[in-house]
Amino acid sequence: MSTFSNTIRTERSVRFPAPRVTLEGDLCLPEGAVGVVLFAHGSGSSRFSPRNRYVARVLNDVNLGTVLIDLLTPGEAATDRRTAHLRFDIGLLADRLIAATDWIARDPDTHRLRLGYFGASTGAAASLVAATQRREMVGAVVSRGGRPDMAGSLLSQVDAPTLLVVGGEDSAVIVLNRRAYARLRCEKELAIVPGATHLFEEPGTLGAAATLARDWLQRFLAPVAEQRRKFQ
């Protein structure tokens, strides 16, 4: 794992309205943030996922803000642990991700920042669907160990540059990602991390995935913010 910097950061809990529910998240903005990345967690996970929090800190160290959110309420999450049903409801997850996107566009601390998505597992499909509904807002998408195939026919409508990161030992998910990759018409890349299984638990593999995500998001989010500052 990397050693993280002592960059000055603003951190606060956030609540935002979504259809029929209010959801919670954690916002972290480094001083001089050049973009913000909204995390969509995967099957059975939450905003407290140590893997996503690690990736978020890697992004914070290069002046990218992060918003980690729960796409399900505590009650829904409890039900989903028994039924594993809501985690596969891509339409529901995408609608809530869109609600979070709209909140970021209104919030005084984030509304000027270019937005990216980081999705894991089914959160990757929700991110891609949401990107087709907020084209003018979403500057890049990263999927880690994701199920982009579950975005279905909307894959061909994604405009945002998209990076798919898959573990080299996650054979079934590699196949699904290759199929999804072939259907994407945007700028895209498929990166396979050698030795990694689905959760990137092997030494060094999560760090490798985080570095890939960092470079992709910096490439497509930071330059836009820097150009804006030149003309302000």
Domain contains 2:
no
* Residue 212 belongs to a domain: yes
What is the per-residue pLDDT for 5? 57
By residue range, what is the domain housing residue 129? Answer: 9-230
**Counting beta carbons within 10 angstroms of the beta carbon of residue 36, is it exposed (0 to 12), middle (13 to 18) or buried (19 or more)?**
buried
Distance between CA 141 and CA 163 in Å, rounded? 6
> What is the pLDDT at residue 1?
43
- Residue 55 lies inside a defined structural domain of this protein: yes
Pairing state between β 64-69 and 21-30: antiparallel
Considering the domain boundaries, does residue 3 fall inside one?
Answer: no
The CATH code of the domain that includes 210 is 3.40.50.1820
Assess if residue 157 is contained within a domain: yes
- In order along its 232 residues, the chain shows pLDDT tens digits of 444 555 667 899 999 898 889 999 999 999 999 999 999 986 666 787 888 999 999 999 999 999 999 888 888 888 878 887 788 889 999 999 999 999 999 999 999 999 999 999 999 999 999 999 999 999 999 999 999 999 999 999 999 999 999 999 999 999 999 999 999 999 999 999 999 999 999 999 999 999 999 999 999 998 654 544 443 4
What pLDDT is attached to residue 225? 45
pLDDT at 203: 96
What pLDDT was estimated at residue 43? 62
3-state secondary structure 13-25: EEEEEECCEEEEE
Is 57 a member of any domain?
yes
In a domain, 206, yes or no: yes
d(CA 219, CA 216): 5
pTM for this model (two decimals): 0.90
Say what the pLDDT of residue 84 is: 75
140 assigned to some structural domain: yes
Angle at alpha carbon of residue 64, lines to 186 and 225, rounded to 5°: 70
**Residue 8, CB-side half-sphere exposure with 13 Å CA sphere:** 2
Strand partners, 30: 9
Task: Give the pLDDT score at 19.
Answer: 85
Count of domains for the chain: 1
Residues 6+ apart with CB under 8 A from 42: 87, 119, 120, 121, 122, 123, 124, 145, 146
Q: What is the DSSP string of 185-229?
A: -SSEEEEEETT--TT--STTHHHHHHHHHHHHHHHHHHHHHHHHH
Residue 6's pLDDT is 57
Burial status of residue 148 (CB atoms within 10 A of its CB: 0-12, 13-18, 19 or more): buried
